[in-house]
Amino acid sequence: MISELKLNGISRAYGDHRALTELELTVHGGEFIALLGPSGCGKTTALNSIAGLLPLTGGSIDLDGRRIDTLPPEKRGFGMVFQNYALFPHLSVRRNVAFGLRMRKVARPEIERRVNAVLDLVRLAEHAHKLPGQLSGGQQQRVAIARAIVLEPPLVLMDEPLSNLDAALRLDMRAEIRRIHQEFGLTTLYVTHDQEEALSLADRLVVLRAGRVAQIGTPAELYESPRSAYVAAFMGYRNILELTAEVLDGTRATVAGDGVKLVGTLADERDDGPVCTVGAPVRVAIRPEDLRIAADGADVVFEAVAEIVEYHGREFQVDALTRTGQRVHLRTDERVATGDRLALTVDPRRALVFAGGGDGT
Amino acid sequence: MSALAAAPPRPALRHRLAEHGVDRTLLLMLPGIVAIAALFCYPFVYGLGLSFQPSKGGVFGAYRSFFGDSFSSGTIATTFGLAIPSSLINVGLSVPISYRMRGDFRGKRLLLTLLVVPITLGTVLTAEGILEFFGPVGWFNLTLQKLGLVSAGAPMKLINDYWGVLFSLIISGFPFAFLLTHSYLSGIHPALEKAAATLGAGWWQRFRFVTFPLLLPGLLTTFCLTFVLGFSVFPSAMMVGDPDGKTHVISIEAYEQALQNFDYPQGCADAMIMTGLMLAVIALAMGIRALFYSGSTGGKG
Amino acid sequence: MLRTKALTLRPGTWLVWALVVFFLVNVLGVIGSVVLDSFGTTWFNGWSPNGYTSSNYSSAWNEFDLGQVMTVTFEITFLVVGLSLLLGVPAAYALARRSFPGKRAVMLLFVLPILVPPIAYGIPLATVLYKFHLAGSLTGVVLANLVPSIPFVVYTMTPFIEQIDPRLEQAARMCGAPTRSVLGRIVAPLLLPGMLAAGILVLVRTFGMFELTFLTSGPTSQTLVVSLFSAVFSAGIRSAQSIDAMAVIYTGSMLVLLVIALRFVNPTQLVARSRD
């Protein structure tokens, strides 16, 4: 197992277009890291650059102190799971998995042994003789993983491996990937656009935006204290309100606008971000489950009329419109009917205030 | 009563047809099929029948006279002698060239377009050009003289010879083979080679174990199609070749019998022999093709 | 960094490019010597003709009666394009949309005329046309050229039709459109680009088709390429320059067609019949 892989400000540009800008990251052995972001944010570019499929246009990569970004992909020895699996269609499952070992001229009995072990691990032993075209999506997925890990690579790269599967299978395979990661003692770099997938799988998350790192942290850190409205939106803060700061008091801020007035917590901003000042535009991020219907006597933050009510078993999911036409989302276990006037409140600790309005950070 | 109940009623004809996918849409094929049947199948069968009714020599007389006369039967060797080397050269050159030219680069479309030109110009114009370019006082021989490779008095004899015809088959056949190989190659998903690279395969191993096996069925098809071109060589063999000697190919023999000697049965017999030989080669190539994987290669889109 | 990497190519890459360049230089030489000669007065020896003139063109035009030949050529070509589309597109539609017993046999029927060399089926076909007194006439030439053209249309159009979602037609039917409207208003407009491509490909091929036209044409139904062949083959009587002038006229028309074709189709489509 590696002890660490260091990405030293790696960049990739296509002419004027900068697909990836100065990514700094240190991956420790045994870690599961997810690169998260919407399509086009540079996460696949990052993965391909690390794999060596794309030459870097800046920065360097060190593996245990040895510089590897000058090596071609076949010399780096990383395992990669491709988005559409990229299984060799003319080779059987066994020969697909054995491919890397054959390229390294491993002795036949050794190949046999290791392929069998990996096929058992991914539970495909009885399909070993089939061609990839005869397998289901989930099985192909497991062949792709087996092929990548049979070499016991220092690092496994996975490029949205679950995006071609249907919802139920995706949940199963998610658990399967986590299991394989632990049982095989892998170090994994996993690209996805699905925050739930990233949160449930990864030890650490890297959120990318337009080729730059927006935030790096553990799932809990990102979930509890996102450092920008962008990351917050990605972490399930569905209500983003554009307001103005009125009073600042330590980490507390009173913000108002559009008939809304609430007290929130100033988020732990990035050093280079805009500073929150009185009268400046701010954005407030609130999760649907933190926006509650006010009990009698509680601080009412604003009122809204329920427009769409969905029954979700234990709770109701409500889309409501404020007086000024702002749409808010909330979850509640109280019975709500369409057209009801709701008095809403939020715990100041659960309303995150970010400096800067509009489309900035 | 019970017997009636036991035998389920025979479903209506239209239901049975519908089960097999037969409906009125299929009538749309009728005009095309009739046209091909009338213009291709009927003449072919007619020609086959005619070949068994020669003016002399009994049922197999025409075939006997073809194989009995060494000038006629020698055309088979001559034809293969042109078709096999030319298609091997064409396919053989196409593979490394199109492998190098995978992916996008500036001017790729222009290059492809330039390569299309010799195919569409057709054999007649190519032959006319070859007569002048490769002729004894043509630019090619002049260049060789300048380079000191041949003396002015003894230019290389390239036209009215085997070589002129081979050149014409390469000039019109190579672009054809290249474009086909190129399109087969771009049908192989690029991720497969990337996957092989991450598994430790160098460029030769990637080609040898991934790309080449996936390309092979396409190459055999390409070989067949270029072979058909070479096997049916006609105008260039007449124009730049030596039609009464070294390039007296089977199509010339058939043409001369049918439309110069007006011996239709003999001409048809020659055409049938030609078709038979060619189908045999194609069947052989397709038989080899069936031995390899020939399913999806990932596609590009 | 990247730039230098692209320039320091491996020797294999240089060899490949050298081969391509060598090939293209030869093609250029082949075409170039014909073009240059067509403008020359005489050219017995050396790198270029002794003098230049354009009179070869007028003499070629008159000598070979090219006005009439061109008219015939275009008549034949456009008739073949029209008829092969008319017969081929419906067949391609049925083949793309339905699977039925005997489909493989029908596919084989349509592939054979492409595989069998034109000379091999042209001779029996010419014989049959003589029997029906059609040989030598314009009709005979058109009929003969339909043989490879119809399958060509079928194989070009089938993948094209397959990529049109059949649910579009079903949706139109659910909106109450009868078959005629479905075909006319939904299928035909969607197929138009494909038909254009197939039509242009057939046009280029028929224009350049030598063997079939040669076997079935008479003095009044020769196309340009056949007249060119006859002129070259009976050379000696006529000056090489006017034959070359005719060849250049042929090349020129071919290139015009090619330029038009390439506006609508991918170069690889000109050779690859279908992506099976």
Hey, is A120 helix, strand or coil? helix
Residue C77 lies in a domain: yes
Sheet holding A188-192, edge to edge: A79-81, A156-159, A188-192, A32-36, A204-209, A212-217
Where does the pLDDT of residue A65 fall: very low under 50, low under 70, confident under 90, or very high at 90 and above?
confident
Where does the pLDDT of residue B1 fall: very low under 50, low under 70, confident under 90, or very high at 90 and above?
very low
Q: What is the CATH number of domain B63-124+159-290?
A: 1.10.3720.10
A243 and A355 in a single domain? The answer is yes
Q: Is B117 on the interface with C (CB under 8 A)?
A: yes
What does the block give as tokens for B173? Answer: 């056949």
Contacts of C121 in chain B (CB under 8 A): 40, 43-44, 47, 271, 275
Hey, is A281 helix, strand or coil? strand
Phi-psi region of A123 (alpha: psi -120 to 50; beta: other; left: phi over 0): left
- B271 → closest Cβ in C24, C124, C210: C124
A215 and A74 in a single domain? The answer is yes
A212 and A236 in a single domain? The answer is no
The structure's pTM equals 0.78
Total structural domains in chain C?
A: 1
A238 and A141 in a single domain? The answer is no
| Digit-coded pLDDT (tens) for C33-52 | 888 888 877 776 777 777 77
Q: Is A135 on the interface with B (CB under 8 A)?
A: no
How many other C-beta atoms lie within 10 A of the C-beta of residue B3?
Answer: 6
Hey, where are the domains in chain B?
A: 63-124+159-290
Least confident of B249-258, C6-15, C252-261: C6-15
Q: Which residues contact C107 (CB under 8 A, 6 or more apart)?
A: C95
Q: How far apart are the first and last CA of chain A?
A: 38
Hey, is A25 helix, strand or coil? strand
Rounded distance between C-alpha atoms, residue A44 and residue A50, angstroms: 10
| Digit-coded pLDDT (tens) for A48-63 | 899 888 888 889 999 9
Rounded distance between C-alpha atoms, residue A300 and residue A282, angstroms: 20
- B198 → closest Cβ in A79, A89, A102: A79
Query: Closest by alpha carbon to C197, among C170, C162, C250, C158?
Result: C158
Residue C12 lies in a domain: no
A196 and A301 in a single domain? The answer is no
**Exposed (0-12), middle (13-18) or buried (19+): which is B152, by Cβ within 10 Å?**
exposed
A262 and A296 in a single domain? The answer is yes
| CA A140 distance to own-chain centroid | 23
pLDDT at C91: 92
Where does the pLDDT of residue A250 fall: very low under 50, low under 70, confident under 90, or very high at 90 and above?
confident
C:89-128 residues touching chain A, CB 8 A cutoff? none
Residue C179 lies in a domain: yes
Query: Closest by alpha carbon to A298, among A360, A240, A255, A344?
Result: A344
CB A326 within 8 A of CB A259: no
Least confident of A2-16, A119-133, B47-61, B145-159: B145-159
State the CATH number of the domain containing residue A158.
3.40.50.300
Q: Which residues contact B67 (CB under 8 A, 6 or more apart)?
A: B73
pLDDT at B34: 94
Q: Is B187 on the interface with C (CB under 8 A)?
A: yes
Specify the DSSP element, H or E, that contains B268.
helix B264-290
Where does the pLDDT of residue B62 fall: very low under 50, low under 70, confident under 90, or very high at 90 and above?
confident
CB A155 within 8 A of CB A33: no
Q: Is B144 on the interface with C (CB under 8 A)?
A: no
Where does the pLDDT of residue B36 fall: very low under 50, low under 70, confident under 90, or very high at 90 and above?
very high
Indicate whether B190 pLDDT > 50. Answer: yes
Picking from A224, A251, A270, the residue at the C-terminal end of a domain is: A224
pLDDT at C242: 80
Segments forming the whole domain that contains residue A270: 229-360
Task: Calculate mean pLDDT across residues B234-244.
Answer: 84
Q: Which residues contact A199 (CB under 8 A, 6 or more apart)?
A: A205, A219, A222, A223, A235
CB A96 within 8 A of CB A148: no
Rounded distance between C-alpha atoms, residue A149 and residue B182, angstroms: 33
Which of A333-342, B114-123, B206-215, C141-150 ranks highest by mean pLDDT?
A: C141-150
B:209-248 residues touching chain C, CB 8 A cutoff? 224, 228, 231-232, 234-235, 238-239
Segments forming the whole domain that contains residue C255: 71-268
Angle at C170 between CA C165 and CA C176, to 5 degrees: 145
CB B47 within 8 A of CB C127: yes
Rounded to the nearest integer, the mean pLDDT of chain A is 86
Rounded to the nearest integer, the mean pLDDT of chain C is 82
Query: Closest by alpha carbon to B227, among B173, B290, B298, B172?
Result: B173
Rounded distance between C-alpha atoms, residue A50 and residue C224, angstroms: 60
Q: Is C237 on the interface with A (CB under 8 A)?
A: no
Least confident of A208-212, B36-40, C235-239: C235-239
A30 and A115 in a single domain? The answer is yes
Give me the amino acid identity at B145: Q
A312 and A283 in a single domain? The answer is yes
Distance from CA of B30 to the nearest CA of A (A): 36
Distance from CA of A56 to the nearest CA of C (A): 9
Indicate whether A279 pLDDT > 90. Answer: no
CB A74 within 8 A of CB B198: yes
Using alpha carbons only, how large is chain B's radius of gyration in Å? 26
Distance from CA of C38 to the nearest CA of B (A): 11
CB A92 within 8 A of CB A70: no
Contacts of C251 in chain B (CB under 8 A): 121, 125
| Strand segments (E) across chain A | 4-14, 17-28, 32-36, 58-63, 66-67, 79-81, 156-159, 188-192, 204-209, 212-217, 239-249, 252-257, 260-266, 281-286, 291-293, 302-311, 316-322, 327-332, 341-346, 352-355
State the CATH number of the domain containing residue A236.
2.40.50.140
Distance from CA of A49 to the nearest CA of B (A): 12
Q: Which residues contact C36 (CB under 8 A, 6 or more apart)?
A: C43, C48, C49
Sheet holding A4-14, edge to edge: A17-28, A4-14, A58-63, A66-67
Distance from CA of A78 to the nearest CA of B (A): 6
pLDDT at A190: 94
Contacts of A90 in chain B (CB under 8 A): 213-214, 292-293, 295
Task: Calculate mean pLDDT across residues A142-148.
Answer: 90
Contacts of B205 in chain A (CB under 8 A): 103
DSSP conformational letter for A59 = E
What does the block give as tokens for A266? Answer: 């100033």
Interchain CB distance below 8 Å, C5 and A57: no
| Digit-coded pLDDT (tens) for A177-193 | 898 899 888 899 999 98
Rounded distance between C-alpha atoms, residue C135 and residue C217, angstroms: 6
How many other C-beta atoms lie within 10 A of the C-beta of residue C47?
Answer: 11
Q: How far apart are the first and last CA of chain B?
A: 61
| Digit-coded pLDDT (tens) for B127-163 | 888 888 888 878 888 888 888 777 777 777 888 888 8
Using alpha carbons only, how large is chain A's radius of gyration in Å? 24
Rounded to the nearest integer, the mean pLDDT of chain B is 84
Strands A79-81 and A66-67: unpaired
Rounded distance between C-alpha atoms, residue C267 and residue B118, angstroms: 12
A280 and A177 in a single domain? The answer is no
Contacts of C274 in chain B (CB under 8 A): none
What does the block give as tokens for A209? Answer: 């935006």
| Digit-coded pLDDT (tens) for C47-106 | 777 777 778 788 888 888 888 888 999 999 999 999 999 999 999 988 888 888 888 899
pLDDT at B88: 94
State the CATH number of the domain containing residue C158.
1.10.3720.10
Residue C10 lies in a domain: no
A217 and A75 in a single domain? The answer is yes
Total structural domains in chain A?
A: 2
CB A13 within 8 A of CB A19: yes
What does the block give as tokens for A9? Answer: 């400000």
Distance from CA of A59 to the nearest CA of C (A): 13
Q: Is C5 on the interface with A (CB under 8 A)?
A: yes
Looking at per-residue confidence, does B292 or C120 come out higher?
C120
Q: Is A274 on the interface with B (CB under 8 A)?
A: no
Interchain CB distance below 8 Å, C87 and B35: yes
Using alpha carbons only, how large is chain C's radius of gyration in Å? 23
Residue C147 lies in a domain: yes
Rounded distance between C-alpha atoms, residue C47 and residue C44, angstroms: 10
Contacts of A104 in chain B (CB under 8 A): 200
Per-residue HEC secondary structure of A296-330 comes to: CCCCCCEEEEEEEEEECCCCEEEEEEECCCCEEEE
Q: Which residues contact A359 (CB under 8 A, 6 or more apart)?
A: none
